[in-house]
Amino acid sequence: MAATPLLDGPRLAPRSGGAPDSLVVLLHGYGADGRDLIDLGELWGDKLPRTAFVSPHAPEPLGIAPVGRQWFAYVERNDRERWTGVQSAHAALDAFLDAELARHRLPPGRLALVGFSQGTMMALHTGLARPVPLAGILGYSGLHAVPEGRAADIAGPVIASRPPVLLIHGDADEVIPPQALPRALASLEAAGVPVRGHLSRGLGHGIDSEGLLLGGAFLAECLPPLR
């Protein structure tokens, strides 16, 4: 049996200095690496001054290029492939979250996940499968991977906790169509997950200033400073 890959990536200490009272883990998209999202911690530092940020590199080298990383191979881009993929990468990400919480001596309720594209798929899959609810999950330009596209199958052991979720998508996304947003909202709502969605006008596969503002406000709501 293959060993679970050990993840690592760039980190940002809390802007306020000292030990963090919360943690945000940033999960990059297909073909990027942890450096792609770590600067979000700088942008959100004013709203989350006591939060530490970490952006792990995905466990696999990109299969189609000499640089970049992937959470899982992405060839056919169908429901079966995505479902198999999030399952295959789950153990490595889950172990990383446990290690980072232990590193900072924080409880699960002081952890939020932020994903982009394939990273959103991982944030939803692993975040909802954890037995103790996280503080929240923020996803950009992604989708909710479900077995064979059957939303009814996600109930039960696949979703073990129900933290608040915010999903943001561009209505001009050329990589993951904007229809993925209402489908994700429907499947998560059917499973009892408190979820909100926002469609950004004129945005392709990316994150715009509106999405950054909404995301920062959501994270600040999920991770209020401890007294």
Helix (H) or strand (E) holding 28: none
Q: What is the pLDDT of residue 154?
A: 45
Spatial CB neighbours of 117, under 8 Å, sequence gap ≥ 6: 29, 30, 140, 141, 142, 175, 176, 205
What integer is the mean pLDDT of 126-133?
A: 96
Residue 148: predicted pLDDT: 63
Which CATH architecture is the domain 11-222 placed in? 3-Layer(aba) Sandwich (3.40)
How much is the pLDDT for 94?
97
Low-confidence winner among 72-81, 134-143, 173-182 (lowest mean pLDDT): 72-81
Please say if the pLDDT value at position 192 is more than 80.
Answer: yes
Residue 100 pLDDT > 50, yes or no?
Answer: yes
pLDDT digits (tens, 9 = 90+) for 103-125: 999 999 999 999 999 999 999 99
Q: Which of 76-80, 107-111, 189-193 has the lowest mean pLDDT?
A: 76-80
**Quick one: pLDDT band at residue 151, thresholds 50, 70, 90?**
very low
Comparing 34-43, 96-105, 157-166, 216-225, the range with the smallest average pLDDT is: 157-166
CA angle 65, 67, 174 (to 5 degrees): 65
